[in-house]
A and B are shown apart, each in its own frame.
Chain A
Amino acid sequence: MRPNGIALRQNFLLHHARQLGTLSGLLVLGLVLWVLTPHFLTLSNLLNVAEQATIIAIVAVGMTFVILTAGIDLSVGSVLAFAGVVMASALHAGAPLPFALLAGLVTGTVCGLVNGLLITLGRLPPFIATLGMMSVARGTALMYTGGRPISGFSENFRWLATGEVLRVPIPVIVMIGIYAIAFFVLTRTKLGRYTYAIGGNEEATHLSGVNVRFYKTVVYGLAGLFSGLAAILLTARLNSAQPIAGMMYELDAIAATVIGGTSLLGGEGNVLGTLIGALIMAVLRNGLNLLGVSSFLQQVVIGSVIIVAVLIDMALKRRGKYS
């Protein structure tokens, strides 16, 4: 029902309206922090926040694809850890930098594809398949390293996190590039259209001759690929790859996606919203740190924001439907 020309265009406007809502949420948050502390609205702090958002933001791109198909991927944090230690051990074994980076990306992608195959060929619910992968990837990472972090890398590799172009940190540039590509893929390619279609009505998509299994598997593969990419940046940032890295990142990524207006039921949403969602989470944490708010209260605030964001979103959606 979705890939119909007129419906698509109307949806497009609706999506943009929703993103504007999320964006104004981010701006209000920024305004409040600007009033409360002189340290928030400085160039160095804004770049700092953007850099802090990158890891979750990149993981959340893959999550958005998955959730658009009405699926879920709980394994992204564990896959990130596994890809990170594989890449780190390749670097320590003296592999050339591009090869090591590729090893990390391939590890992530393979884990994602296995998820996809379990879901499509194995007919497992995504929740179960990726829950299993979450444990398998984590356990493999722990076994592979004996539980110890692998740390200490060359300046060349670390440049991926410490480097800057015109004061903008490299991870931020990578993040913007990834979102531009993901936006293009979702709005302008067959893969993107089918991603929405599968989430909108999987049965109808299948009946209209789309190879649903293939595209779903690719989408989970993408989620793995983005976890691998996030692993590279996180390892460079900490100068260490930890087998216990990325714990609970799946929940942060889901939160960013949902705050950004993507429906957990699939078929509705956009990566731009997800980017704003990831930024909202980073700005919140940053602001609460700047204000010296107790770390317990921080958890309450972050949880409340997630709930309020989705409440507003749903209220707007209802209005859109009935007016």
Chain B
Amino acid sequence: MKKLLIMMLLILIALIGCQRGGDRAGGPPKIAFVMKTANNPFFIEMQKGAEQAAQRLGVNLIVQAADREVDVEKQMQIVENLIQAKVAALCVTPSGSREIVPAIDKANRAGIPVVIVDTRVDEKALSESHGKIAAFIGSDNYEGGKVAGEFLAKRLGGKGKVAVLEGIPGHETGDSRLRGFREAIKATPEIQIVASQTANWERDQGFNVFQNILQSHPDVQAVFACSDLMALGAVEAIAAAKKTGQIVVVGFDALAEARKAVEQGTMEATVAQSPATMGELAVENAYRLLKGEQIKPEITVPIKLITKENVTSQ
């Protein structure tokens, strides 16, 4: 016990030695970026973009994320804690479109402006609670899904059986992609969606779910996955079934690994979002807001369909 106390005391003294850096008033503005997760390539790129912008503008950037992408309660706790840390502005990629609203309310009450990135906040929930956001920065997911659907329809010659791997139900980004995709497929009545199931944004589930779909629909000709991770899972399931090259795979996000797959031909296309640009724009706009400048309430980051013709794997 005595040893323990001495050890704790030593740690304490060591900590006092390097205490309280960067908390002085008048230092660089403190901007917090709360992401859905920090362990998904999409968000890693977003973080890189945000950090680059922060360095360029001389912003003290704090990036935080819950362990799991869907943990809305942890995300709320992080936002609450950052409000307590008196950050000047908050950038958030909501883990839940509606569940983020109480956190936005709290930031509003503390007078901290909120920039929403990537995933939209539910308009109705926001207006019901009289919440305010400074700006939304993200890509048009509906349009992205539509572009993917149109590509698939053309690729299949307007006829065939298609499977879909959905994201987590109730996630605005996945839902919008799905709506856009279905809208495009509706225009070609001879294309049939034979299976549409969630793989919860995860690669291993993409593998398992698509393997099951292949069992029940061995004649499926194409798959659209609402994210590249699920698409890459499907690619492996196709390889395991020795059907590589026979099934058209279209993903979403244009992750580095997916670009490589497009180059190699195991995937046919992926919709490119620019997470790095999103992160950069988020920090930049939050910074401008703090300097008292006006910013646009809606900033759309362009999307692009990546196919073998225009792929560049960086």
Q: Which residues on A are within 8 Å of B, measured CB to CB?
A: 28, 31-32, 35-39, 42, 44-45, 48, 52, 55, 146-149, 151-152, 161-162, 234, 237-240, 242, 244-245, 247-248, 285-286, 289-290, 292, 294-296, 299, 312, 316, 319
Contacts and interface: CB of A to CB of B under 8 A. Distances in A.
Interface residues of B, number: 46
5 contacts: A35-B12, A42-B84, A151-B99, A248-B68, A295-B63
B98 A149 contact: yes
A299 B125 contact: no
A295 B38 contact: yes
Contacts of A245: 72-73
Nearest to B18: A36
B82 A238 contact: no
Contacts of B11: 32
B4 interface: yes
Contact of A316 (B1, B85, B86): B1
Nearest to B78: A289
A272 to B, nearest CB: 21
Given A289-B85, A295-B67, A36 B96 contact: no
A239 B198 contact: no
A48 to B, nearest CB: 6
A234 B80 CA distance: 15
A78 B101 CA distance: 24
A35 B16 contact: yes
A238 B125 contact: no
A44 B64 contact: no
A237 B4 CA distance: 39
Contact of A28 (B8, B77, B99): B8
B84 A238 contact: no
B177 to A, nearest CB: 16
B23 interface: yes
Nearest to A161: B102
B81 interface: yes
Interface string B1-45: 100100010011001100110010000000000000011000000
B68 A289 contact: no
Contacts of B67: 295, 299
Contacts of B168: 147, 244
Given A38-B23, A152-B125, A295 B82 contact: no
B66 interface: yes
B116 interface: no
Given A45-B84, A162-B102, A289-B82, 11 more contacts: A28-B12, A35-B12, A148-B170, A149-B98, A151-B125, A239-B125, A240-B72, A289-B64, A289-B77, A295-B63, A319-B1
Contact of A52 (B77, B86, B198): B77
B76 interface: yes
Contacts of B101: 239
Interface string B57-91: 00000111111101111001110111011100000
B198 A147 contact: yes
DSSP class of B's interface residues: helix, strand, loop or mixed?
mixed
B108 to A, nearest CB: 13
B296 interface: no
Given A37-B20, A290-B85, A296 B169 contact: no
Contacts of A146: 169
A250 to B, nearest CB: 14
B128 interface: yes
B128 A152 contact: yes
B154 interface: no
A147 B1 contact: no
Given A31-B12, A152-B125, A289-B64, A296 B78 contact: no
Contacts of B122: 151
A42 B124 CA distance: 34
Given A38-B23, A295-B66, A240 B98 contact: yes
Interface string B89-124: 000000010110110000000000000000000101
Contacts of A55: 73
Chain A to chain B: the 10 pairs with minimum beta-carbon distance, closest first: A147-B169, A289-B81, A292-B62, A151-B98, A45-B84, A148-B170, A238-B99, A290-B85, A240-B99, A295-B65
A223 B11 CA distance: 38
Nearest to B23: A38
Contacts of A32: 11-12, 15
A196 B1 CA distance: 28
A14 B4 CA distance: 20
A191 B68 CA distance: 38
Contacts of A312: 4
B230 to A, nearest CB: 16
A239 B72 CA distance: 11
Most chain-B CB neighbours within 10 Å: which of A146, A242, A244, A289?
A289
Contacts of A296: 38-39
A290 B86 CA distance: 9
A285 B124 CA distance: 31
Most chain-A CB neighbours within 10 Å: which of B12, B70, B124, B169?
B169
A290 B98 CA distance: 25
B73 A35 contact: no
B76 A240 contact: no
Given A37-B23, A148-B170, A290-B85, A295 B64 contact: yes
A312 B86 CA distance: 35
A36 B19 contact: yes
Contact of A290 (B8, B12, B76, B84): B84
